[in-house]
Amino acid sequence: MKPLQIAEPDEWIDEPYSMACGSYEAEIRRYKKYVDKQGGVWLVSNQEAAAENVYFHNPKDLNSDGFAGRTLTFILEDDSEYKAKGPWHTNADALFAATGVDIRNTHFTFVVLAKERFSTNDGRYRTALRGIIYKDEKPILGSFNRYKDLIKQHPEANFYFTGSSGGSCSGPISDKDRL
């Protein structure tokens, strides 16, 4: 494998990362439990970035195959356990729609906006941006789509990258993105 390319002062290159085990990430935290009108159970991590760990379980669905149908044990705030067969990792928007609980501004995201994209030619698919217009110094707590507001604030940018604990996306900025 080729060595990583070092970015020049006006460049930014996404670093490779390893995927984490989803069930491990779910089971190491403490949760608040909410029940919606249909009896669905929502588990929200008790952490600053609560929106990054939201899970849904329907106790009536005995065939649910989230996490390949495994039974996960969630530790609740009062130290009791909630066991869920096949729960699903979900998002803050779905939680809000089902329960009215609003944690939509508790995502850590990292955003870079730039004038151009370039290839690292190192055989890896990585985002490489040049002509940096905006770059977070560290991940910022806020909306998952915070990058969309930043695009509107920086009309000179042509490409974006946004990353969170749940993954990343990048690409060209369209006229529609600027509205």
What secondary structure does DSSP assign to the chain, as a single string?
-PPPPPPPTTEEEPPP-PPPPHHHHHHTSEEEEEE-TTS-EEEEESSTTGGGSEEEE-TT-TT--GGGG-EEEEEETTS-EEEEES-EEE-HHHHHHHH----TT-EEEEEEEEEEE----SSS---EEEEEEEE-SS-EEE-TTHHHHHHHH-TT--EEEEEETTEEEEEEPPTGGG-
Same domain, yes or no, for 160 and 91? no
Residue 9, domain member (yes or no): no
Same domain, yes or no, for 71 and 112? no
Strands 71-76 and 54-57: unpaired
Residue 88, domain member (yes or no): yes
Residue 33, domain member (yes or no): yes
Q: Which pTM value belongs to this model?
A: 0.85
Same domain, yes or no, for 144 and 165? yes
Residue 1, domain member (yes or no): no
Residue 14, domain member (yes or no): no
| Domain region containing 30 | 22-99
Neighbours of 99 (CB within 10 A): 15
Q: How many structural domains compose the chain?
A: 2
Closest C-alpha among 28, 53, 55 to residue 43: 55
d(CA 36, CA 57): 11
- Partnered with residue 167 across adjacent β-strands are 164
Same domain, yes or no, for 93 and 28? yes
Select from 56, 79, 99 the last residue of a domain. 99
What is the distance in angstroms between the CA of the first residue and the CA of the last residue of the chain?
A: 42
pLDDT, one tens digit for every residue, the chain (179 residues): 445 566 788 999 988 766 677 888 888 999 999 999 999 999 999 999 999 999 999 999 999 999 999 999 999 999 999 999 999 999 999 999 999 999 999 999 999 999 999 988 877 778 999 999 999 999 999 999 999 999 999 999 999 999 998 788 999 999 999 88
Angle, CA of 126, 129 and 131, to the nearest 5°: 170
Select from 99, 118, 150 the last residue of a domain. 99
Residue 16, domain member (yes or no): no
Same domain, yes or no, for 114 and 93? no
Residue 58, domain member (yes or no): yes
State phi, psi for 97 to the nearest 5 degrees: -65, -40
Same domain, yes or no, for 112 and 163? yes
